[in-house]
Homo-oligomer: A and B are copies of this chain.
Amino acid sequence: MRISELSTKTGVPVATIKYYLREKLLPEGERASATQAAYGELHVKRLGVIRALVDAGVGIAGVRKVMAVLDDPPQSPYDILGAAHGAVAPPAPSGLDLDAAGALIERLGGRPEACFPDQVAAIAHALATLDRAGFEVPPAVMTAYLDGLRSMAAAELAATPRESLEAAVRYVVLGTALVEPLLLALRRVAEQIAAAEQFGPTSRE
């Protein structure tokens, strides 16, 4: 199909498609003539993923990294996860005290030295930020966080598709990038429900 049809089919404006082509997020179409290229189902699918990542707040650099993982997937499932996290997670500053982060990782059942260093640093950065604001997560709340996140991760892993490497990569990469906004939105509503249960009839009823 021509770029105009690709635009109609996906709802993405032609100018935006051209931008993604220039940024190499989308592979070139097949040359049909000197001035025309032909696009296929691959482009439709790929545009859907790009738009979803952008909607989820992933920047162009992050989208490019996600696409690179999807195009050239690592062979080990563990490395797929590392690539997915590296593509989506914001870089953490270095020089942080990693002890408190390491203690949380041990409580999650892991060993800090076996985790991706960037992700250990991300926990340390988040803890340092809380500390700077003089905010302490109450111990019982931290325990609830760790328990909840451990069960969620176990369920995610158990549901990883096994039929092909491509399916597994897609699941892990998009499950990391696109599910984060859903979890944060669900968390806010879960807090509202808990508050409404505790405080009885509210101003919204």
Contacts and interface: CB of A to CB of B under 8 A. Distances in A.
A133 B189 contact: no
A127 B192 contact: no
Contact of A52 (B56, B132, B183, B191): B132
A115 B196 CA distance: 9
Given A193-B108, A193-B109, A204-B115, A198 B157 contact: yes
Nearest to A132: B52
Given A52-B135, A194-B156, A77 B199 contact: yes
Contact of A190 (B149, B159, B180, B204): B149
A192 B115 contact: yes
A17 interface: no
Interface residues of A, number: 92
Given A148-B152, A149-B148, A133 B77 contact: no
B150 A185 contact: no
Given A110-B193, A115-B204, 20 more contacts: A45-B134, A48-B132, A52-B133, A78-B203, A108-B189, A108-B193, A109-B197, A122-B184, A125-B185, A126-B178, A129-B181, A130-B174, A130-B179, A133-B178, A135-B171, A140-B158, A145-B183, A150-B190, A150-B193, A183-B187
Sorted nearest first, the 8 A-B pairs with minimum C-beta distance are: A148-B148, A52-B133, A144-B155, A110-B193, A126-B182, A153-B190, A122-B185, A138-B159
